[in-house]
Each structure stands twice: as structure tokens, then as C-alpha cells.
DNA sequence: ATAAATATTTAGGCAAATCTAAAAATATGT
DNA sequence: ACATATTTTTAGATTTGCCTAAATATTTAT
């Protein structure tokens, strides 16, 4: 399987996580930053190889085999991200591009040994779950901070937007995965929020709150 | 630069180390395990990009830029080999294939941090020198064991053949880089040698002796 | 229900990297 | 020197992955 094929499979997998049964040509074209005609070409090849189901004008859906392959690529991507952060001291906004390359390296031994070196991490630096050898991964209860009511608390467990700009913004305000965040007050006018992170109080816009995942805490 | 282009540049660089001024199309075709006509195509493209000098029927020679690029790829290849052996416990006969893939990953930060993680190694698991950031590398005096006279001693510092079969053969007889090897006697008939490795005495064929490099020791 | 807008596919082309077969240049042997 | 052998290049095809423009199917709006 080529890198390009793997990227398409991964793109389809991610779009499928959004709940849709079938992924349209145009949605996939947008995701892959390519033209719909190129997508049609590629999905025909992938259907040929048994990695997805494709009927003209009906969009695509991964086969078991296709989804399995997607999970392997995602596993590699996220393990490499952990490696870059934990072992090479990359910042969490610097790892994605390199992981995009490393995820295509073929060697089962490499992946498994890397997994062991990193102590079998269950989540990547952005809070996304890492599939194990069999493709299984932990899910955890999480809600967008923007969906949390006033007076509630949660632990920051992930980001929805993992762009370098957003991650650097979080760094600037010292918001990290693992922090406890309490919602002090919600402004209905602009949907901004007053929150407390550890001892610090700050006000964040809706845009920020709607890209941070928290695990709601009791009490 | 594509992986394929990098592989050609690396192939030419290695052939050039054998002393020839100019590398012929057929020599390169053999090295790259491809057809001469494919080589002609590729070297035209590489000449176009300024990575090598090419005149029809005259063979090729790397430019400064081409050689510099080759050194970068070789640096990455050998650093990754060290990583696989030192950090992921690969055997020295298992690293080459994976390093062939990893050497094409593009990220200067990755290479430099990896170098640091490994404590700036100067030689790879097969005894080959690792170029530094500027492309400079240590050379050390080394001779083929087959060229050592009787009663002489040397330290095993490298292999000429780094095929998995040869490396596994050395493992089987517990011959490792760093071992002191003494030549006890040379058989002129079949050119086999009686050697002493540490406390152990053994007899090795010319084929083995002519693929092991030693650094001659005084006395 | 029909027309207009939108989405998707097809057709035809291009660049990279490979191949085979044929042509051209170079090297070798008597 | 000249014929023969070898090496190298060219010509033409193939596959992957992409493009643009045109054709076709589907969806939406009147
Ligand atoms: Mn990523
Ligand atoms: Mn990630
Ligand atoms: Mn190697
Ligand atoms: Mn090596």
C-alpha cells in the first residue's frame, strides 16, 4: 500500500468517526485537499483492492480490512507523536507533520518496540487514543468545555483543533492536558467563559472553549 | 527531492568512494537493481537539478550539492540504525531495511534531536562512520583481516559485507565489533586463518577474513 | 414537474519512475 | 582498420496520482 492510499484510508476513517454512514466524494476531496476527480480515481483503485465499498454517486465506506489498515496507520502516527514529545522533547505543536511521514514506515517490529519503549501509551500528546496491536482503544467520557454548565468542573483531556496556532495559544495561557478546569461563569452574550485553571482565573472566548475537551468531574 | 532521487544520489556516492572518478550507467544500474535505460532517465533529471554532472556516454559525478545531500541521507540512515540497536534492541542484521525507509524522513530537528538522544555516535552498528551536521566524519585506520600478517593483532572495527547472513554468521561465532583478534597462523593453501578472539581460538575461511575490518594494534 | 444548481464521473493530459525493444555510440579483437 | 561485441541512449508503453474541462447524474427550488 502506498503512502497516498494510506492517507486516503485514514481520511475516510476520520470522516466516518463523525457518524456518517457513507462519505461523499466532495467531503473526501476537501479532507485530502485535492479535486473530486482525483478522489474518484483513487476510490476506484481502493475499491478494487477491497479496502472500501464504492458505488457510483453513492460515496464510500471502508471495509473491515480498510478500517483495520486505517487503525494501524493511526496507531503509528500517534505512537510517533508520543515518541517525539517524550523522547525528543518536541513541543506538541511540532509533532504532527513529522508523524505524517513516520506513520508510513513499514515494520511491525519497529512499531511494537516503539510502543514498549514508550510504555504502551494510551493517548497521544493531543489526548487522542492510541489503538493497540489489535486496533482496540480506550474511549473516555469527554465534553467540549463550551458544553459545560456554570459551576461545573472537568479535567482537560484533549483538543478538537490541533493546529499549531491553537496549541501555541494554549501554551501561552498555560492550559495543559491534565489541568482541572472549573467553569465560573458563562456569558450568554458572546458565549465567552470565566474559568479557573488550577489557581488562575481567566476569561476565554467561545472559540477556545469549543475546541477543548474536558472529562466532567463530579461535585 | 524524492526517495528515489535520494537513493540514486546515495548509490552514486557509495560507488564514488571506491575511487572512480566517474560512475558508469551500467555500474549504477547494477547498484540500483534497475535497467540502464532507467538510470539514463534518472541521471538526466538529477543533472537538470544540479546534483550531478552528466555527459552522454561519459558517466556521472556528483556535484558538491549532490555529495552534500548524499551525506545527509547517509547520516540519517546510520543514526536510525544506531537508534534501532541502542534504543529498540534490534539486532545489527535487522536494521538496514528499516533504516532504508527512515533515512528519507524530512526534519532537521528530528535528525539533530535523535543525534543528541544517541549521544552523538561516531559509528553505526556496522562500524561505518556517521557524518556530523556538516557532513564531516571520522576515518580510522582499518585493514581487512585477510590482509593481516601472522602474529599480528587488531581490533575488530567493521564489516565489509553487511548482509544479514554474514552478520548472523559472526553472531554465531561470537565475533563482535570491539573484539581483539589475533592472527595465529595463515594457511597459504586455502587462505584460511587461525585466529584468537578473546580467549577463543577458531579457524575462519578467506571469505570471512576478507569481509572483516580490523584496526591493527602495535606489538 | 420541470428547470436550475450542485455533485460526481469521464475524458484526456502530465510528471515521475519504471520497463522492453530498437537505434546509436563506444570499445575490443584480430 | 574494420568487424564484432558491449554499452548507452532513445522511443514508446505502463502505473500512480494528480490536474482541467466536459459530460452526466442527482438534488433543490420554483
Ligand atoms: Mn497528528
Ligand atoms: Mn495527535
Ligand atoms: Mn544500512
Ligand atoms: Mn550500517
Q: What is the CATH number of the domain that holds A179?
A: 2.30.30.90
Alpha-carbon distance A72 to A132, whole Å? 9
pLDDT tens-place string over residues A208-218: 999 999 999 99
CA of A54 to C1' of D25 (A): 16
Share of chain A above pLDDT 70, in %: 100
**Residue range(s) defining the domain that contains residue A189:** 143-217
Which band of pLDDT confidence, cut at 50, 70 and 90, is reported for residue B145? very high
How much distance in Å is there from the Cα of B81 to the middle of ligand 3?
A: 7
pLDDT tens-place string over residues B119-135: 999 999 999 999 999 99
Residue A203 domain-assigned (yes or no): yes
CATH number at residue B34: 1.10.10.10
Mark out chain B residues that contact chain A at CB-CB < 8 A.
84, 87-90, 94, 97-98, 101-102, 105-107, 109-110, 113-114, 117
Per-residue pLDDT, averaged over B137-156, amounts to 97
Residue B74 domain-assigned (yes or no): no
**Mutation for testing the B interface, residue in A94, A107, A117, A164 having most B CBs under 10 Å:** A107
Residue B173 domain-assigned (yes or no): yes
Residue B54 has pLDDT above 90, yes or no: yes
Which band of pLDDT confidence, cut at 50, 70 and 90, is reported for residue B20? confident
Cβ–Cβ pairs < 8 A, chains A and B = 39
Residue B219 has pLDDT above 80, yes or no: no
Domain end: B62, B79, B100, which one? Answer: B62
Question: C-alpha distances in angstroms, A202 versus A153, A180, A186, B64, B105?
Answer: 15, 13, 12, 55, 41
pLDDT tens-place string over residues A95-121: 999 999 999 999 999 999 999 999 999
Per-residue pLDDT, averaged over B155-160, amounts to 98
B186-206 as b/e: b if 16+ CB within 10 A: beeeeebbebebeeeeeebee
How much distance in Å is there from the Cα of B136 to the middle of ligand 2?
A: 36
How much distance in Å is there from the Cα of A78 to the middle of ligand 1?
A: 7
Tell me, what's the pLDDT at A219?
77
Residue B121 domain-assigned (yes or no): no
Tell me, what's the pLDDT at B162?
95
Is the four-CA dihedral B208, B213, B215, B218 of positive or negative sign? Answer: positive
Which band of pLDDT confidence, cut at 50, 70 and 90, is reported for residue A52? very high
A-chain residues near B106 (CB < 8 A) = 101
- For residue A177, give the nearest of A154, A208, A151, A196 by alpha carbon: A154
Per-residue pLDDT, averaged over A4-9, amounts to 98
Domain end: A46, A62, A78, which one? Answer: A62
Q: How many domains would you assign to chain B?
A: 2
Which band of pLDDT confidence, cut at 50, 70 and 90, is reported for residue A162? very high
Helix (H) or strand (E) holding B27: helix B25-32
Amino acid at each position: 500500500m502506498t503512502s497516498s492510499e494510506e492517507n486516503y484510508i485514514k481520511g475516510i476513517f476520520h470522516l466516518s468517526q463523525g457518524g456518517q454512514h457513507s462519505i461523499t466524494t466532495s467531503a473526501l476531496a476537501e479532507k485530502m485537499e485535492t479535486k473530486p476527480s482525483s478522489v474518484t480515481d483513487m476510490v476506484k483503485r481502493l475499491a478494487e483492492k477491497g479496502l472500501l465499498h464504492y458505488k457510483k454517486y453513492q460515496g464510500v465506506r471502508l471495509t473491515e480490512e480498510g478500517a483495520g489498515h486505517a487503525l494501524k496507520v493511526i496507531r503509528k502516527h500517534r505512537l510517533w507523536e508520543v515518541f517525539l514529545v517524550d523522547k525528543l522533547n518536541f513541543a506538541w505543536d511540532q509533532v504532527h507533520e513529522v508523524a505524517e511521514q513516520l506513520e508510513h514506515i513499514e515494520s511491525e517490529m519497529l512499531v511494537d518496540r516503539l510502543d514498549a519503549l514508550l510504555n504502551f501509551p494510551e493517548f497521544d500528546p493531543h489526548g487522542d487514543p492510541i489503538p493497540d496491536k489489535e486496533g482496540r482503544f480506550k474511549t473516555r467520557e469527554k465534553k467540549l468545555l463550551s458544553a459545560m454548565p456554570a459551576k461545573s468542573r472537568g479535567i482537560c483531556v484533549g483538543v478538537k483543533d490541533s493546529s499549531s496556532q491553537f496549541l501555541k495559544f494554549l501554551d501561552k495561557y498555560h492550559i495543559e492536558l491534565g489541568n482541572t478546569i472549573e467553569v465560573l461563569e458563562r456569558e450568554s452574550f458572546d458565549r465567552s467563559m470565566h474559568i479557573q485553571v488550577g489557581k488562575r482565573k481567566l476569561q476565554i472566548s467561545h472559540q477556545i472553549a469549543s475546541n477543548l475537551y474536558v472529562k466532567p468531574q463530579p461535585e
